[in-house]
């Protein structure tokens, strides 16, 4: 039995979470769910967007499923990353049938360092304007590069690309590039190369098939991840994982979408795919492929899908169809 923290959060987070748990219930795996609060609605009731009780629940669980947060998203997700030391942000860029993907053969992963760079928020006002401190440490770079190579090795991926801007940021990204190639020496069977971030942004449009696993810094990873989402149909189809040494948090990246919240029309695919990433994290690879394949079948048929991808099904109708495909197997 797996102990899982469940944070539905705000807006459509509740709806896609209900749909995802409905799908997971079709598996022959026991989950012990502990529900917890976080987000705007939680703040309105308790005065804080992320209660200490919720942090404790997540720390005591083997993994966490997170739905969405509204305006308080940064206060919730960033703090959870810090509290749980979730130093990896993992974002797949994968084409699925029946979607608005610009290419039908994409399957690469962005491994983003999650703890430093400009996102640590060390900013200050000056007489001239403001400054921000960019932090790059050897330990964090080595750790994220090693994760990227281990991920490639464990998932039969044969190439890792470092993305940086070392030609301009000679100290910080120069360090990132040097450590990347030092780590690569321990993975002789994996091809390595590196690209400047601006060139990478262009190649995402002109030749994205060249990528397999990308490892990069916090800011660059954030930007490239959303560009990657645009390649394969938008944020409504994109899952993510935040992973540390002892914990993992899995969430869609579409946000709380207050304009459609409560209407039961949100696409549950991103949340379901986030649960697929959780299953892989728990080493339940067979179950992960079962859920993913059922989703692919439903998307391919295009009969019971939500409006954003050409259908007229509700959130739960699409989830029920995915569950039916699993139970048929």
- Report the alpha-carbon angle 261-242-142, nearest 5: 155
Select which of 25, 56, 186, 198 is catalytic.
198
- Alpha-carbon distance of 3 to 63, in angstroms, equals 7
Active site residue 283: no
How many CB atoms sit inside 10 A of residue 181's CB?
13
Select which of 222, 280, 281, 325 is catalytic.
222
Active site residue 226: yes
- Alpha-carbon distance of 56 to 53, in angstroms, equals 5
Structural tokens at position 238: 């994109």
Active site residue 193: no
Select which of 119, 173, 194, 325 is catalytic.
119
Sequence-separated (6 or more) residues with CB below 8 Å from residue 163: 194, 195, 196, 197, 200, 214, 215, 216, 217, 220, 221, 224
Active site residue 198: yes
Structural tokens at position 325: 């495909």
Active site residue 308: no
β-pairing verdict for 63-68 and 159-164: unpaired
Select which of 43, 165, 177, 325 is catalytic.
165
Structural tokens at position 139: 């330990």
Q: What amino acid positions are annotated as catalytic residues? A: 119, 165, 198, 222, 226
């Amino acid at each position: 039995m797996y102990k899982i923290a469940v944070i539905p959060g705000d807006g459509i987070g509740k709806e896609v979470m209900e749909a995802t748990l409905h799908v997971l219930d079709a598996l022959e795996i026991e989950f012990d769910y502990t529900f917890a609060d976080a987000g705007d609605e939680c703040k309105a009731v308790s005065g804080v967007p992320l209660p200490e009780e919720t942090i404790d629940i997540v720390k005591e669980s083997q993994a966490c499923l997170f739905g969405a947060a509204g305006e308080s998203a940064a206060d919730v997700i960033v703090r959870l990353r810090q509290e749980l030391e979730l130093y990896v942000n993992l974002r797949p860029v994968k084409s699925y049938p029946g979607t608005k993907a610009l290419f039908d053969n994409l399957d690469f992963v962005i491994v983003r360092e999650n703890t430093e760079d400009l996102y640590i928020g060390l900013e200050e006002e000056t007489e001239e304007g403001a400054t921000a401190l960019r932090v790059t440490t050897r330990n964090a770079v080595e750790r994220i590069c090693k994760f990227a190579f281990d991920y490639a090795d464990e998932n039969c991926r044969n190439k890792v690309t470092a993305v940086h801007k070392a030609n301009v940021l000679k100290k910080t990204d120069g360090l990132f590039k040097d450590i990347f190639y030092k780590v690569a020496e321990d993975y002789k069977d994996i091809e390595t190369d590196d690209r400047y971030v601006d060139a990478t942004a262009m190649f995402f449009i002109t030749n994205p098939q060249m990528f397999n696993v990308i490892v990069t810094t916090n800011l660059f990873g954030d930007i490239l991840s959303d560009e990657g989402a645009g390649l394969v149909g938008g944020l409504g189809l994109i899952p993510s994982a935040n992973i540390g040494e002892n914990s993992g948090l899995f969430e869609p990246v579409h946000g709380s979408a207050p304009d459609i919240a409560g209407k039961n029309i949100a696409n549950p695919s991103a949340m379901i795919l986030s649960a697929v990433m959780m299953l892989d994290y728990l080493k339940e690879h067979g179950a992960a492929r079962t859920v993913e394949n059922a989703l692919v079948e439903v998307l391919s048929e295009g009969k019971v899908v939500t409006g954003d991808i050409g259908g007229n099904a509700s959130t739960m109708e699409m989830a029920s169809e995915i569950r039916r495909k699993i139970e048929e197997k």
